[in-house]
Amino acid sequence: MAVAYETDLAKLGTLTGYSGPDQPDDDLLRACVHCGMCLPSCPTYRLTGQEMSSPRGRLWLMRGVADGRLDLLDPIFDEQMYQCLNCRACEAVCPSGVHYGPLVEAARSQLERHRPRPVWQRVLRRVALGGVFGDQRVFRAVVGGLRLYQRSGLAALVRRTGVLKPLKLAETERMMPPVAARFLRPGAERWTPSSPARAVRLFNGCVMGTVFADTNRAAGRVLAHNGAAVDVPVGQQCCGALHVHAGMMDEARALAKTNIAAFEAAPDGEIAVTAAGCGAALKEYGFLLKDDPAWAERARAFADRVRDVTELLADRPLAVPTQAVDRIVTYQEPCHLAHAQRITAQPRAILDAIPGLTLVEMRESSLCCGSAGIYNLIRREMAEELGDRKARHVLETPATAVVTANPGCAMQLRASLARNGSAASVVHVVEVLDEAYGGSAAWPPEGGREPGGSRPQRP
Amino acid sequence: MSRAHDHLIERLERILGPGGVFHRPADLLVYEYDGSVEGAVDTAAPVAVALPTTTEQVAAIVRLANEFDLPVTPRGAGTGLSGGAVAQRGGIVVALTRMDRILEIDPEDRTALVEPGVINLELSEATIPGGHFFAPDPSSQKACTVGGNVAENSGGPHCLKYGVTTNHVLGLEVVLPDGRVVWTGGRAGHAPGYDLTGALVGSEGMLGIVTKALVRLTPNPEATLVELAAFPDVESASLAVSRIIAAGIVPAALELMDNLTIQAVEPAYHAGYPMDAGAVLLAELDGIAEDVRAEGEDVAVLCRETGATSVRVASEKPERDLLWKGRKMALAAMGRLTPNYYLHDTVVPRTKLPAALRRVAEVATEYDLPIANVLHAGDGNLHPLILFDRRQPGAVERVLHASHELLHSCVELGGALSGEHGIGTEKRAALTLVFSADDLAAMAGIKNSFDPKSCFNPEKLFPAGYRCGEVRALRAQALAQKLGIYAM
Ligand SMILES: Cc1cc2nc3c(=O)[nH]c(=O)nc-3n(C[C@H](O)[C@H](O)[C@H](O)COP(=O)(O)OP(=O)(O)OC[C@H]3O[C@@H](n4cnc5c(N)ncnc54)[C@H](O)[C@@H]3O)c2cc1C
Ligand code: SF4
Ligand code: SF4
């Protein structure tokens, strides 16, 4: 044969393997029987048709490192661990129940621990994820700056001059919806029906509590409309999802502990989440802190209280919406709702209950839209391709609005729809329901009490 | 990297562009397996992976492989269970996953022209609104490709009524091992001369690369009904199977699952299989509404007569799909019960099913290995799954011995290897159990005339040690077999 085999990878001993904390769990890895059933559900495999960009391929690579057949620092390993959107579609369809999410997160954490990165990248990660998302005050200040930019006319000016193009920021700017006029601050607002049947604690979230603060308010209102006394406990921070996705486990754990403590101070009632990405991360606190004896039990107890807002609403008979919302909508499943939390029926059930509303399903509604946390900021090409595919599917329907349940998806959808010439708007499930209940104009409902200033106050 | 290697990659890139060729070790690592069971098939990495998008590119790759004297292994989605897509002798893997367009759907002619990388289920999803579906439905249909189906002559639960892939392929565009592109068969059907399409279907990627397939579409049935009957044990369930068939009913599908299988799928899919049932029978009836209703009642009665403790009837699609999901995902859900499993694929005359299942249970006790059973019961097709943990010392040996027993028992009962999952590398040693040396030599003759250099998907199908034309090795094997010194 003219060409020799060049595939002997067993250079045992000379390769960097996993070490230290947060290694991909060997038993979890070996649960994959490489049947391939997950392949068609994986967005990156759908776009590329190549095995290394598939869940099965990525799991095999992770195993390759564990078995000493592949170097942890091999650029292809790095590329694949980060090309993955962590959308968890593979996990939802895997017949053998492979827990893909925790595995890829552990692999990334190993990369972050062992891989030399250029200094600027390290600094940027620290500042962006540690500094901004790590502290709600800083985050609010940054978004406040953005709001000022949007409102001052500067935005229009900047867009006209096109200075963002060479900086590759045009798309990022296009994704930004108008920032809410007032941020939602923990402790500042609450929603109480006349005779509350139970307590619900709202998890505020970074982006939801600022950019989409009005969506959170809508959530407060609809939950109250359904009998819950809703408040936003003080002391809560970012959920840490972005940190987990980026393999920054220590930072994520610190945030988790802060949140657990904050919600322990508000001990009764379920924790409602309006961002699917946050909800998935919060529900996994038990796993995140499982090796920390002081926190493991508390984390599990916390996670048990977490519910997506649609899940919480659909748990009990829904207060009947009275106002017709005459609109045709389609539903985009947030990956972290459909795949990570397996919640697909509840949002649709809520939409079905709204008079006047018609839900038309688009094709591939559960395929990732390309948002995937901050993926769309760091891997623009793949993200845009997925966004365009999504926009095409929306355009095939007569829908004038896309309903979703996650801020990342909302922003990515806005940008993709605009780029593809669609005028469809993007709304959260609770916003549509809120409208069907009469919206903010109808709040507080007749006979509603206002204990200790329950009426939303200005911060 | 050697010069020859660099030269090969450069030439491949000239054909496919840099994005269509993979050759770095980490990239090749993920092409060393397919869906087959660990331990049963050795993994092996190719020298390069090519991802063509056109027939011309495929032909150019094959010609290049000839020039470099390299083996070629076609690959679809890599869900095969017998190692068919594993490049046992290295060389070039040609993965057809980027040739995934449905080129034409002709509802009047009831045909579809597709590229090989089209996913089985997605073809049906595209044609169902127009009133048709693609009948072959391997349990892997959500992921596997039409090219793979053609190469493996795949079947599925609905083969009982609709037949296997070969019954639904009208014509093929194929790149032959020397790089020529030919069409076999066609719309007209019954073309004169040798049935080359028939020879290519089920050829396991050893006679050429399918680059287009003209397939037959089947009209959607007017009504469909799925019944789930729970039985106290597998024997009563298999008795029901015989009774149903004897009554002249031809269900679209008739599937049996034992308790161990129920334990794996029910917690995963909540399909409603009773966890305490010894076995469940899943029967699908389709056709004209009235017939379906009447036959459904008959099946329910027959099941109760043979001992069914409950019969559930699902006529709406969501509920039917849920019942089916449990069945279709059974194999892949085994990872929930065990780190490793070894799947068998045998067929016995339907009347021998109870005996075969008894034998399986005996082997399980004898070797102290749990064995789960999933059966295309209507065809007498058994899939015993031996569950084990390869980390336990001696487990693999026990599994191999138990497998040997199982295969022998089935052959003794007048059965055979089913070949539904292909022979590949996995079962080639066992092929001598069912075919004589002369039988195999006849097959080898066909292989030889398509691929005289024996470069196409080598080390598959024919028993090890065999080289094209060397019938002597086969004779020796046949003799060994006769003398009882055959070893798997
Ligand atoms: C969970 C599970 C359930 C399954 N259930 C069934 C079942 O019910 N019935 C059944 O029959 N099978 C079943 N299979 C086996 C497998 O899915 C089928 O054999 C399928 O047809 C393989 O398709 P593929 O695209 O994955 O092909 P691959 O695995 O990639 O390849 C299979 C063979 O086909 C060849 N090949 C692929 N594409 C081409 C082409 N274009 N031209 C020429 N040769 C080609 C390859 O060389 C190889 O020999 C199952 C597998 C799994 C994992
Ligand atoms: S992750 Fe699950 S579905 Fe995918 S190959 Fe592994 S076992 Fe199969
Ligand atoms: S998480 Fe999403 S992108 Fe990553 S492997 Fe799974 S399906 Fe693919």
**pLDDT average per 10 residues of sequence, chain A (459 residues):** 40 77 90 92 94 97 95 95 93 90 94 82 74 78 80 69 61 76 92 93 94 95 96 95 90 96 95 97 96 96 97 94 95 95 95 96 92 71 91 96 94 92 94 94 62 42
Sheet containing strand A306-308, edge to edge, reads A190-191, A228-231, A198-203, A270-273, A306-308
Alpha helices by DSSP H, B1-73: 3-16, 25-29, 55-68
**Residue A107 CB contacts under 8 Å (≥ 6 apart), including other chains:** A24, A62, A65, A77, A81, A247
Residue nearest to atom 4 of ligand 2 (CA): A38
Any idea how long chain B is?
488
- Of A293, A314, A335, which residue constitutes the final position of a domain? A314
pLDDT of residue B350: 84
% of chain B beyond a pLDDT of 90: 60
- Residues with beta carbon inside 6 Å of ligand 2? A 32-38, 55-56, 59, 90, 94-96, 98; B 332, 335
Q: Is A322 within the bounds of a domain?
A: no
Distances (CA, A) of A386 to A86, A275, A312, A369, B234: 14, 21, 30, 6, 48
Alpha helices by DSSP H, A241-362: 241-245, 249-264, 276-283, 285-288, 296-305, 309-315, 335-338, 345-352
A36, B143: Cβ pair inside 8 Å? yes
Domains of chain B: 3-95 (3.30.43.10), 102-219 (3.30.465.10), 221-337 (3.30.70.2190), 435-487 (no CATH)
Neighbours of B436 (CB within 10 A): 14
Mean pLDDT of chain A: 87
Q: Are A430 and A309 in contact (CB under 8 A)?
A: yes
Asked whether residue A37 falls in the same domain as residue A109, the answer is yes
pLDDT of residue A373: 64
pLDDT of residue B342: 83
Q: Is the pLDDT of residue B468 over 50?
A: no
Q: Are B154 and B183 in contact (CB under 8 A)?
A: no
Mean pLDDT of chain B: 88
pLDDT of residue B483: 45
pLDDT of residue A194: 87
Q: Is the pLDDT of residue B478 over 70?
A: no
Asked whether residue A130 falls in the same domain as residue A170, the answer is yes
Q: Are A353 and A318 in contact (CB under 8 A)?
A: yes
Asked whether residue A94 falls in the same domain as residue A23, the answer is yes
Q: Stretch B32-46: mean pLDDT, rounded?
A: 84
Asked whether residue A61 falls in the same domain as residue A143, the answer is no
Q: Is A334 within the bounds of a domain?
A: yes
Interface membership of B429 toward A (CB under 8 Å): no
Cα distance between residue B55 and residue A399, in whole Å: 39
pLDDT of residue A6: 40
Cα distance between residue A2 and residue B67, in whole Å: 10
Confidence band of B480 (pLDDT split at 50, 70, 90)? very low
Confidence band of B472 (pLDDT split at 50, 70, 90)? very low
DSSP for A176-187, written as a single string:
PPPPPSS---TT
pLDDT of residue A168: 58
Q: Is the peptide bond before A407 cis (omega within 30 degrees of 0)?
A: no
Q: Which letter, b or e, does each residue of B255-288 get, where b requires 16 or more Cβ atoms within 10 Å of its Cβ?
A: bbbbbbbbbbbbebbebebbeebbbbbbbbbbbe
Spatial CA neighbour of B256 closest among B357, B138, B180, B407: B357
Asked whether residue A207 falls in the same domain as residue A167, the answer is no
pLDDT of residue A445: 65
pLDDT of residue A123: 76
Q: Is the pLDDT of residue B477 over 50?
A: no
Asked whether residue A24 falls in the same domain as residue A104, the answer is yes
pLDDT of residue A191: 95
The rounded Å distance from CA A34 to ligand 2 centre is 5
Mutate to test the interface with B, among A8, A14, A34 (most CBs of B within 10 A): A34
B307: left (phi over 0), alpha (psi -120 to 50) or beta: left
Interface membership of B28 toward A (CB under 8 Å): yes
| More confident of the two residues B228 and B419 | B228
Query: pLDDT tens digits, residue range B273-318?
Result: 999 999 999 999 999 999 999 999 999 999 999 999 999 999 898 8
* CATH code at position A58: 1.10.1060.10
Q: Is the CB of B80 under 6 A from ligand 1?
A: yes
Q: Which atom of ligand 1 is nearest to the CA of B328?
A: 3
A57, B30: Cβ pair inside 8 Å? yes
pLDDT of residue A447: 47
Q: Would the ipTM clear 0.90, i.e. be above it?
A: no
Asked whether residue A139 falls in the same domain as residue A100, the answer is no
Of A30, A31, A51, the CB nearest to B31: A51
| More confident of the two residues B346 and B69 | B69
- Of A97, A114, A131, which residue constitutes the final position of a domain? A114
Domain total for chain A? 4
DSSP assignment letter at A356: T
Q: Are B144 and B248 in contact (CB under 8 A)?
A: no
* CATH code at position A399: 3.40.50
pLDDT of residue A267: 92
Q: Are B116 and B75 in contact (CB under 8 A)?
A: no
Neighbours of B417 (CB within 10 A): 20
Round to the nearest angstrom and report the end-to-end CA distance of chain A: 76
Of A31, A64, A69, the CB nearest to B335: A31
Q: Is the pLDDT of residue B211 over 50?
A: yes
Q: Which of A119-123, B41-45, B115-119, B281-285 has the lowest mean pLDDT?
A: A119-123
Q: Is the pLDDT of residue B334 over 90?
A: no
Q: Are A203 and A262 in contact (CB under 8 A)?
A: no
Cα distance between residue B375 and residue B240, in whole Å: 13
What domain range includes position A41? Answer: 10-114
Query: pLDDT tens digits, residue range B343-364?
Result: 888 888 888 888 999 999 999 9
Interface membership of B9 toward A (CB under 8 Å): no
Query: pLDDT tens digits, residue range A377-401?
Result: 667 788 899 999 999 999 999 999 9
- Angle, helices A249-264 vs A296-305, to 10°: value is 70
Alpha helices by DSSP H, B282-390: 289-305, 317-328, 353-367
Say which amino acid occupies B181.
V
Confidence band of B481 (pLDDT split at 50, 70, 90)? very low
Cα distance between residue A272 and residue A223, in whole Å: 9
Q: Is the CB of B217 under 6 A from ligand 1?
A: no
Q: Is A151 within the bounds of a domain?
A: yes
Q: Which letter, b or e, does each residue of B74-90 get, where b requires 16 or more Cβ atoms within 10 Å of its Cβ?
A: bbbbbbbbbbbbbbbbb
Of A35, A54, A74, the CB nearest to B332: A35
Q: Is A448 within the bounds of a domain?
A: no
Q: Are B413 and B356 in contact (CB under 8 A)?
A: yes
Q: Are B22 and A54 in contact (CB under 8 A)?
A: no
Cα distance between residue B402 and residue B390, in whole Å: 15
Asked whether residue A85 falls in the same domain as residue A126, the answer is no
DSSP for A358-381, written as a single string:
EE-PPTTTTS--S-TTTHHHH-HH
Q: Is the pLDDT of residue B371 over 50?
A: yes
pLDDT of residue B397: 83
Asked whether residue A249 falls in the same domain as residue A359, the answer is no
Asked whether residue A384 falls in the same domain as residue A286, the answer is no
pLDDT of residue A278: 96
Q: Is A450 within the bounds of a domain?
A: no
Confidence band of B143 (pLDDT split at 50, 70, 90)? very high
Token pair of B225, please? Answer: 């009904």
Cα distance between residue A365 and residue A368, in whole Å: 8
Asked whether residue A152 falls in the same domain as residue A198, the answer is no
Distances (CA, A) of A310 to A207, A279, A358, A397, B67: 18, 11, 18, 24, 61
pLDDT of residue A458: 41
Q: Is A456 within the bounds of a domain?
A: no
Say which amino acid occupies A349.
A
Asked whether residue A310 falls in the same domain as residue A278, the answer is yes
